[in-house]
Structure 1
Amino acid sequence: MKSTSINQNEAKASYTAWQLVLMVLTVILVALYAARPLFNVDVFWHLELGEWITTHKAIPKTDMFSAVHPESSWVQFQWLWELLAYLLVSSSGITSLRVFQVVILTATFVALFGTFYQRTKGTALALFLVIFALLLYEERFQARPDALNLLFFTAVLSFSLKPPPQKRIRMLLSIFVVCMVWSNIHAGSAVLAAAVFGAAAIGGTIQHLVNRSNENPTIRWAWTCLATCVVGLISNPIFFSGWYHFIEIYPAMRATGNWEWEPTYRMTANGLHPYFIFLSFAPSVVALVYLADLVTQIRRKDQQPIAWGETVLCIGLLLLAHQASRNAVLATFPLAFSLPRLCSRLEIRKLTLSLLLSATLLLCISYAYRIEHVRGGLIPTINMLSYDLEPTAYPEELGAFLSEAGIEGKILNQGKWGGYLIWSSWPQCRVFVDTRHHLNNPMWETYYSFHNPQTRADAANRAADNWGLDLIAFSGPTFPFQQPPKGWELLFKAGPQELYLRTNSANAEKNRLRALEWAGAQRQDPRHSVAAAVIPQAAQRWLGHPFNKSRLTEAQATIGKDPSGKSERTIGGILAQAGAYIDARPYLVESSRLSPNNVRTWYWLALIGWHTEDRNLLAHALTKLANLPLNKLAPVERIELAMLSSQSPPGTEPIRQD
């Protein structure tokens, strides 16, 4: 007996240590994910709206950023987050927004653990549920209003689970304040508060009718909480107009193919990594678990009756979790209700061990995807924390050029660049599209045509003729060999960031002169390209970006140590993107020797052969590429190779675009 007692104490101590380690690791991962450089394509138009609200002391009601219809109606019902985020950034810089994210998201998961522990009365079970929620929510760790939704939902759920308190006025005031703040930060998701209190009220009423019991004071309290919640929600001055506008544009937002609006079961389209498999099937597995629990409750009539408020709420949450991947985390809460009951009924031996093993596995899946798969390891992840903005996510050099040179016009732009271009160059420049995708049917046609390299030139001319768009901003190669259609000229290029100018627009000559002034050059001959003076300065800025400098430094340090030629290919590719073709050539030639079947290396060599008029190098590269799969190249790059192949010397095998 004494030996058994000792073994049990040792097992309990080991479980406690295991739980503590998992808690610490979970907090570290939450903070690490939240602290990553800003990468969300929405954040900068949110900040620009915050600046406008600060300046004008009003909430905008038109799409003032649009180059096509700045007077059209647009209701943004996330105004409070935009205002607070702008005030934070304007006073303390972009880094402060990342710090805010770390604090808020860490607090969210601490609150989540407290809520689950209060519900389950078990540390291991609460910890498992928190890590389960982390996997379903970590993609939402973005600097945008909906990053706060889980914290608000957790607070509202905690209110709904509490019995009627003695000091009811204080409780109702707390509910009102939470719902009011949530509504003004993200009115779209704040309706979940009404869903939670509504489920409690409706479920309590159903239970009263089914059981034919006397009126229960708890039911009156539930309806009072719901009424208080609704009053808090509609305190947002644009709650109704915002929702009406959202319903109008929702189909178009779904049509963009943004994965966060896709059903969770489609997430395996992103790959068969365990993370995507979990994301795809977790809500469905939870639905089956909850259904099994519900059926068991119905059969066990001698036990406690069904809690209809909980049932109504959980069914609604599971429907939302399946409807869009952005809602997947909601599946955690039905699991928090049903799992403790199922565990107690099944009498699983070594339940704590099973839960801790499962939690550890989920944490490993999260780490394997977010740290190893996305970043390439813990050290690169930590190194990336030195950047405020995710490298390559935003056109930083192009935005600086537009602002510093004072370029004016209407930009036909890459969709994901819209927000940053608004932040860096509005109001002197307006954009065709940003990630709100507020487009009418003719604009949608132009948008899709412009993002298709086969029809891009026609789309650019159509946009110029129909709406007066006179600038093009896109990730290159926008056009093959930076040669735009007639009527356009290249004005700026920094790595892949390209800007083209409509040659006969009202702002054309003014923008040329301002670009030359920015480059510290003078135009000696009107026949000379302005880009020839601007691009060297832009290339130096792009190469001087800390991320590109670090890549070059790291690659230089490993030359000769990597038999695959990756270091040489990295250096050659960066230099080629900057237009330094002569400097890039020896690195890429060496890379082709070490890795003779790398399609990216041969693509760069073909481009270098064309730009430097080295026909031997061009013919050799095209011959090699004719026997390699080109699926890793961008569509425009394949078009370039097909065009080069058609002009190549006799005997060179043709290259197909597809």
Structure 2
Amino acid sequence: MTILTAETTNSAGTRHSLLPLWVGLVVYAVLMSVGDRLLNDPDTLWQITLGQWIIDHRAVPHSDVYSFTMAGQPWISTQWLAQVLLAVSYTVGGWAGPVVVAAGSLGLTLALFARALGRRLRDSTTLVFVIAAVILMAPHMVARPHVMAMPVMVAWVAGLMNAADRRAAPSLWLLPLIALWANLHGGFVLGIALVAPIGLDAALGAPARRWSLLLRWAGFGVLALIVSFANPYGWEAILASRRILDLGAALATIGEWAPTDFSRFGPLELVLLAGLGLALWRGVTLPPMRILMLLGLLHMALSANRNLEVLALLAPLIVAAPLARQIGGVETADGAPAQPAFSVVATALSLAIAGTLAFATLHSFAPPREQTPAEAVAKLKTLGVQRVFNDYDFGGYLIASGVSPFIDGRTELYGERFVVEQNAAVRLRPPEKLFRLLDDYNIDATLLRTEDGATRLLDHVDGWEKVYSDDVATIHVRKPGAAHTAEPKVDPAR
């Protein structure tokens, strides 16, 4: 029989343990030890550059100021505050700065996650959810704005779910969180959207106060929407999020937006099978609205890899109370462990800061060479070319180097058709598309990965001269009198 409410005797009190503190510290320490991997995303480069632009101009962008293909076109950055934080951290600490910011944000996220779950579930159960979350989040743990918004997302949804479990309206003190989220990342739209189903779940569980509770949740939702306008773009920030979702086929060309691939065993399949096994073994049931929310988050995760962290962090918060009722949760607040002493927290943070300073002095952080073709771009600057057709992943480094790119990670700026055509051209689908783009945009030079099909083809095309090549990037320049540099290989067997 489906449980229609998620009430639990544990909601009366608050339980604290050292587990959240240890989770946050361990996650932070591990991520710092592999900090270079947090820089393994080309978008980090242009995010930092844009953050410095915002600081220098004391304004946020309203049009493209970097590419030559979309120069002057309307474009806004709903991540402006996170970009400023990245730029400041880079100015203060070099590449160690963004690593510390990202590792700290992720550590805080999982500490808040463990604390929220620990109000309902035993530490052992909470730890299982933390491990599952880390597995799902790992591919997207990079120094980008979304990781700075994660702690806010967890705190916001945990606050909403706590109110729903108590069959009460959310506290107005949650509203500053949505304002902060709206300035850190466009994902705040999801936070507002979740108010409706969570509020309905709360109302369904309180038949005697159903309509009054619905009105209070509706009022809170309206206030949350209004408060989210407290950003430099106002209501335009919501429209920007919609434009990303409308990119259609372009999203499939970007790894983080591609749908989940079940042809190989991966993290999501592992977690789903484990969850399904638990549900079948223990007979876990959920209230109707929580089932719908869980299915919605699962749909998002299946539709795009970048939503795996949303499923990992929010699904456990939604199921925690009914799960505790069925498999056993923490005892009531009477006799529960006291909140960790301030001295314990202060000591732990002091050790983390000291460890960070010591490690940062011994280790030099840097983005991977595959994303930063420094030698090739240095050569490109000596050529005096203005219009460069570049690989998608090189766009961020070109912006950071002061070179106008053909394309970069701001997919919503370029639009579906442009992104799809650039991707097809680099992959020679068909080869004619490459030459059409080179001609249509009067391209002077190309900066592509050495292993790209387009790079190999240009080696055999008259009118294009290879002037630089290494194991990462190759440069061809348009030169009408140039003959191809290598003969095509012929397979006699064919």
Structures share a fold, TM > 0.5? yes
User: Matches of 2:249 and 2:471 in 1, distance apart?
Assistant: 32
Identity of aligned residues (%): 19
| Kept after mapping to 1: 8 A contact 2:203/2:214 | yes
Specify whether residues 296 and 70 from structure 1 end up closer, same or farther in structure 2 by C-alpha distance, changes over 3 A only: closer
| Kept after mapping to 1: 8 A contact 2:101/2:143 | no
Q: Unaligned regions of 5+ residues in structure 2, if any? A: 1-16, 330-359
Q: Which residue, 379, 384, 393 being the options, matches 1:416?
A: 393
Q: Unaligned regions of 5+ residues in structure 1, if any? A: 1-15, 298-305, 349-381, 505-526, 530-610, 612-639, 647-653
SS of residue matched to 1:97? helix
**What is the letter of the counterpart of residue 175 of structure 1?**
L
Q: Tell me the residue number matched to 2:13.
A: none
User: Matches of 1:245 and 1:323 in 2, distance apart?
Assistant: 19
1:555-610 per-residue CA deviation (whole Å, 9 max, x = no partner) reads xxxxxxxxxxxxxxxxxxxxxxxxxxxxxxxxxxxxxxxxxxxxxxxxxxxxxxxx
Q: Tell me the residue number matched to 2:227.
A: 232
Q: Describe how 1:38-187 pairs up with structure 2 within 5 A.
A: 38-120=39-121, 122-163=122-163, 171-172=171-172, 174-187=173-186
Q: Which residue, 472, 485, 491 being the options, matches 2:467?
A: 491
| Kept after mapping to 2: 8 A contact 1:193/1:229 | no
| Kept after mapping to 1: 8 A contact 2:380/2:475 | no
**What is the letter of the counterpart of residue 490 of structure 1?**
K
| Kept after mapping to 1: 8 A contact 2:140/2:306 | yes
Q: Which residue, 254, 269, 273 being the options, matches 1:280?
A: 269
SS of residue matched to 2:37? coil
Q: CA deviation at 1:138?
A: 1.2
1:247-269 per-residue CA deviation (whole Å, 9 max, x = no partner) reads 345343643432322333x2x34
| Kept after mapping to 1: 8 A contact 2:23/2:111 | no
Q: CA deviation at 1:180?
A: 0.9
User: Matches of 2:138 and 2:416 in 1, distance apart?
Assistant: 34
User: Matches of 2:174 and 2:22 in 1, distance apart?
Assistant: 35
Q: Tell me the residue number matched to 2:350.
A: none
Specify whether residues 401 and 176 from structure 1 end up closer, same or farther in structure 2 by C-alpha distance, changes over 3 A only: farther
Q: Which residue, 488, 491, 494 being the options, matches 1:643?
A: 488
Q: Describe how 1:476-515 pairs up with structure 2 within 5 A.
A: 476=450, 479-480=455-456, 483=459, 485-503=461-479
Q: Tell me the residue number matched to 1:470.
A: 444
User: Matches of 2:64 and 2:18 in 1, distance apart?
Assistant: 55
User: Matches of 2:290 and 2:421 in 1, distance apart?
Assistant: 48
User: Matches of 2:178 and 2:105 in 1, distance apart?
Assistant: 17
Q: Which residue, 364, 374, 385 being the options, matches 1:396?
A: 374
1:79-133 per-residue CA deviation (whole Å, 9 max, x = no partner) reads 211222122223432221111112111111111111111121x111111111111
User: Matches of 1:282 and 1:643 in 2, distance apart?
Assistant: 48
User: Is 2:256 the counterpart of 1:260?
Assistant: yes
Specify whether residues 287 and 53 from structure 1 end up closer, same or farther in structure 2 by C-alpha distance, changes over 3 A only: farther
Q: Tell me the residue number matched to 2:12.
A: none
Specify whether residues 126 and 37 from structure 1 end up closer, same or farther in structure 2 by C-alpha distance, changes over 3 A only: closer
Q: CA deviation at 1:436?
A: 2.7
Q: CA deviation at 1:287?
A: 7.0
User: Matches of 1:186 and 1:481 in 2, distance apart?
Assistant: 40
Q: Describe how 1:17-56 pairs up with structure 2 within 5 A.
A: 28-33=29-34, 36=37, 38-56=39-57
User: Matches of 2:57 and 2:27 in 1, distance apart?
Assistant: 42
Q: Describe how 1:443-592 pairs up with structure 2 within 5 A.
A: 443=418, 446-453=421-428, 458-459=432-433, 461-476=435-450, 479-480=455-456, 483=459, 485-503=461-479
| Kept after mapping to 1: 8 A contact 2:465/2:478 | yes
User: Matches of 1:341 and 1:444 in 2, distance apart?
Assistant: 44
Compare the two structures and name the one with the higher helix fraction: 1
| Kept after mapping to 1: 8 A contact 2:63/2:75 | yes
Q: Tell me the residue number matched to 2:197.
A: 199
Specify whether residues 231 and 449 from structure 1 end up closer, same or farther in structure 2 by C-alpha distance, changes over 3 A only: closer
Q: Describe how 1:261-340 pairs up with structure 2 within 5 A.
A: 261-264=257-260, 266=261, 268-269=262-263, 271-272=264-265, 276=266, 278-280=267-269, 282-283=271-272, 286=275, 296=285, 306=287, 310=290, 313-332=293-312, 333-335=314-316, 338=319
Larger RCO (CA within 8 A; separation ≥ 6): 2
SS of residue matched to 1:62? coil
User: Matches of 1:501 and 1:263 in 2, distance apart?
Assistant: 36
User: Matches of 1:62 and 1:484 in 2, distance apart?
Assistant: 39
**What is the letter of the counterpart of residue 115 of structure 1?**
A
SS of residue matched to 2:113? helix
Specify whether residues 459 and 246 from structure 1 end up closer, same or farther in structure 2 by C-alpha distance, changes over 3 A only: same
Q: CA deviation at 1:156?
A: 0.6
User: Matches of 2:171 and 2:456 in 1, distance apart?
Assistant: 64
State which structure, 1 or 2, has the greater radius of gyration over its C-alpha atoms. Answer: 1
Q: Describe how 1:371-386 pairs up with structure 2 within 5 A.
A: 386=364
User: Matches of 2:280 and 2:219 in 1, distance apart?
Assistant: 30
Q: Tell me the residue number matched to 2:408.
A: 434
SS of residue matched to 2:387? strand
User: Matches of 1:86 and 1:181 in 2, distance apart?
Assistant: 18
Q: Could you say what the CA RMSD is over the residues aligned between the two structures, in angstroms? A: 4.2
**What is the letter of the counterpart of residue 419 of structure 1?**
G
**What is the letter of the counterpart of residue 186 of structure 1?**
H
Specify whether residues 21 and 224 from structure 1 end up closer, same or farther in structure 2 by C-alpha distance, changes over 3 A only: closer
Specify whether residues 124 and 163 from structure 1 end up closer, same or farther in structure 2 by C-alpha distance, changes over 3 A only: same
Q: CA deviation at 1:241?
A: 2.7
**What is the letter of the counterpart of residue 255 of structure 2?**
W
Q: CA deviation at 1:481?
A: 9.3
